[in-house]
Amino acid sequence: MKKLLSLTATIALVLGVIPVLVWSQDVPNPSIDVKKMVSSDGINWEDADDPTGPEVVVGGDVYFKFVVTNTGNRTLTDITLKDSVFDTSGCTLVDPLAAGASFECKIGPFEANYGQHANTATATGKHYVILGFPFYIPAEDTDKAHYIGVEIGVEADGVYEACSLGFWKSHPGDWPDEYDPDVYTVGDVFELPPTDLDDLADHLLMEALSYKGKRSGTPKLAKEVQAAKILLRNAVAALLNAASGFNLYPLSEEAIKTQVNGALGSGVRKTMLGLNEELDGYNDGLCPPEDEGEPQLAPGKHNTLSTTWGKIKAR
């Protein structure tokens, strides 16, 4: 198969001034992959991308392992490895990371808490097109891991409960007491960076559920503000789901705040929209308003996840 030819400009010191153009058949394709796995014994690992992940007895040990691989055809530098919940500063990174090379890091044990838990690993690297010059091609990958903390000996119905942002917008009477819809603002709950996003701080959480995601602010920050509004809609719904104590909801209030604050602080549209998609999936469950008897599907939702997921403590 005929290879694609690319024209790469390489600056060489030929008589001090002459730039040299070099034809190359080897097209740069920097890429990175991260796998996050979870274990209850530090020996047997599970790549638990989806709920529920392994069952871990409440109070028992839970471990995590990260495997980072350069899956591209160029050496990567400025390698980073972060987690949405846990500290990874103790990990030894391989930097630079050659094409095809990999490294791993294990953290834990941590004490397993009750209920469904989820957190996300992110690995990044850069391929500098011309050594010594600031132009580079970025590479990034994320991977989720789940586990469920269980209390032995007590049965639960195993139905995944969550309500959509549409439900919370139309049912202010069902909001948990700690988030009064007439009192709490976006700035009371989330940390907004000192940009045009500051203008959102005084908006009530109820207003955030109605954001349309329209562009506003200066031209430079228009896309950032739009993405932030889209994220905050599902972030508020996720926070209300977590605070309501719904069965098997995969994120705690603290985890939601940490992830949303990180995405907003990054100022990166792709990061904010990626987290929004994740939270939107978590908010897709069986909606159980307390004042309407039997649980009902959240408006427009269909994911009941009705499989029995082990023995967990009834709340």
pLDDT digits (tens, 9 = 90+) for 14-46: 334 344 444 455 788 999 999 999 999 999 999
**What pLDDT score does 35 carry?**
97
Q: Are 170 and 290 part of one and the same domain?
A: yes
More confident residue, 7 or 206: 206
**What pLDDT score does 203 carry?**
94
More confident residue, 220 or 189: 189
More confident residue, 89 or 245: 89
Identify whether 305 is part of a domain.
no
Which pairing describes strands 136-150 and 55-57: parallel, antiparallel, or unpaired?
A: parallel
Q: Are 265 and 230 part of one and the same domain?
A: yes
**101 pLDDT above the threshold of 90:** yes
| CATH for 49 | 2.60.40.3930
Q: Are 196 and 271 part of one and the same domain?
A: yes
Identify whether 210 is part of a domain.
yes
Q: Domain boundary at 107, 122, 150, which? A: 150
Q: Domain boundary at 105, 122, 150, which? A: 150
Q: Domain boundary at 102, 118, 150, which? A: 150
Closest CA to 162 of 38, 246, 56: 246
Q: Are 192 and 250 part of one and the same domain?
A: yes
Q: Are 58 and 171 part of one and the same domain?
A: no
User: Long-range contact list for 39-42, CB < 8 A, 24+ apart?
Assistant: 39/63, 39/64, 39/65, 40/112, 40/147, 42/106, 42/108, 42/109
Q: Are 41 and 67 part of one and the same domain?
A: yes
**102 pLDDT above the threshold of 50:** yes
Identify whether 220 is part of a domain.
yes
- Can you give the residue range of the structural domain that contains 112? 32-150
Q: Are 79 and 196 part of one and the same domain?
A: no
Closest CA to 285 of 244, 243, 248: 248
Identify whether 20 is part of a domain.
no
Tokens of 2: 């005929």
**What pLDDT score does 293 carry?**
45
Strand partners, 315: none
Alpha-carbon Rg for the chain, nearest whole angstrom, is 23
Q: Are 146 and 53 part of one and the same domain?
A: yes
Q: Are 175 and 291 part of one and the same domain?
A: yes
Q: What is the mean pLDDT of the chain?
A: 79
| Dist CA 209 CA 283 (whole Å) | 13
Identify whether 211 is part of a domain.
yes
Counted domains in the chain: 2
Identify whether 277 is part of a domain.
yes
Q: Are 169 and 228 part of one and the same domain?
A: yes
Average pLDDT over residues 58-62: 89
Identify whether 160 is part of a domain.
no
Q: Are 234 and 290 part of one and the same domain?
A: yes
Average pLDDT over residues 96-114: 94
Share of the chain above pLDDT 90, in %: 43
- Binned at pLDDT 50, 70 and 90, residue 219 comes out as low
Tokens of 51: 């709920």
More confident residue, 18 or 306: 18
Give the lowest-confidence range in 184-193, 257-266, 295-304. 295-304
Q: Are 51 and 146 part of one and the same domain?
A: yes
- Binned at pLDDT 50, 70 and 90, residue 221 comes out as low
**What pLDDT score does 278 carry?**
84
Identify whether 195 is part of a domain.
yes
